Amino acid sequence: MKTILAVLALVLSRTLPAAAADIADPVILVAKRQLHDRMYGATILVARPIGNDQHIGFIVNRPTKITLGQLFPDHPPSQKVPDPVFVGGPINPESIFALVQTSKHPGGRSVELMPGMFAVFDGKIVDDVIEREAAKARFVAGLVGWRAGELREEVKRGAWYVLDADPALVLRKPDGLWEELVRRAELRANGI
């Protein structure tokens, strides 16, 4: 049995990001099983520091039943995006943001979440992403913000597994992803 677990851990370590040591850089946060919170339980977030030990982030594994086409019926490019809009977080939930995988800055009010992944806040640029790069994007309603030291305290209290930033994780289908990342993190924490 130990051999099977060791092989499983080796395979998972090659297909998933490594555990990150610090939140001073962009990270993927995975809610621990004991985090029983209506908004954040069983979630995966991408987060980045914005200075003064403050962070912003987006939940990336909570799809809604609403599409861009339903939100913007008079915008033909939105009709072509089949994926649902995701819940990004409780701050500005009426705003749609684009998380786009690209190596170049999309322009306008955009911020690099991690190398190869930008968050787009500017409505005009979000429209451009919908029109030109929808296949490389996740559209989210709202975002998450942490005051100075708040995320560091949550990690210290044991609310989150902290993984290295990985743009591919942000765009993966959410079905079973949280469970997969939690199992991997638990194996690693147990030295397997």
How far, in Å, CA of 1 to CA of 110, rounded?
48
For residue 101, give the nearest of 166, 5, 41, 155 by alpha carbon: 166
Query: Is 70 exceeded by the pLDDT of residue 3?
Result: no
Domain count, the chain: 1
- Reported as a single tens digit per residue, the pLDDT across 98-145 is 999 999 999 999 999 999 999 999 999 999 999 999 999 999 999 999
Q: Please state whether the predicted TM-score (pTM) of the whole model is above 0.75.
A: yes
The number of angstroms, rounded, from the C-alpha of 142 to the middle of its chain's C-alpha atoms is: 12
Angle between helix axes 177-189 and 2-15 (nearest 10 degrees) is 120
- For residue 159, CA distances in Å to 24, 85, 134, 139, 185 come to 17, 26, 32, 25, 13
How far, in Å, CA of 180 to CA of 176, rounded?
6
CATH number at residue 14: 3.40.1740.10
- For residue 55, CA distances in Å to 3, 87, 89, 121, 159 come to 40, 18, 13, 16, 16
pLDDT at 105: 96
The confidence band for 14, taking pLDDT boundaries of 50, 70 and 90, is very low
How far, in Å, CA of 147 to CA of 75, rounded?
36
**In terms of pLDDT, which residue wins out, 189 or 21?**
189
Tell me which residue range forms the domain holding 148: 2-189
For residue 20, give the nearest of 185, 170, 180 by alpha carbon: 185
Angle at 107 between CA 101 and CA 109, to 5 degrees: 95
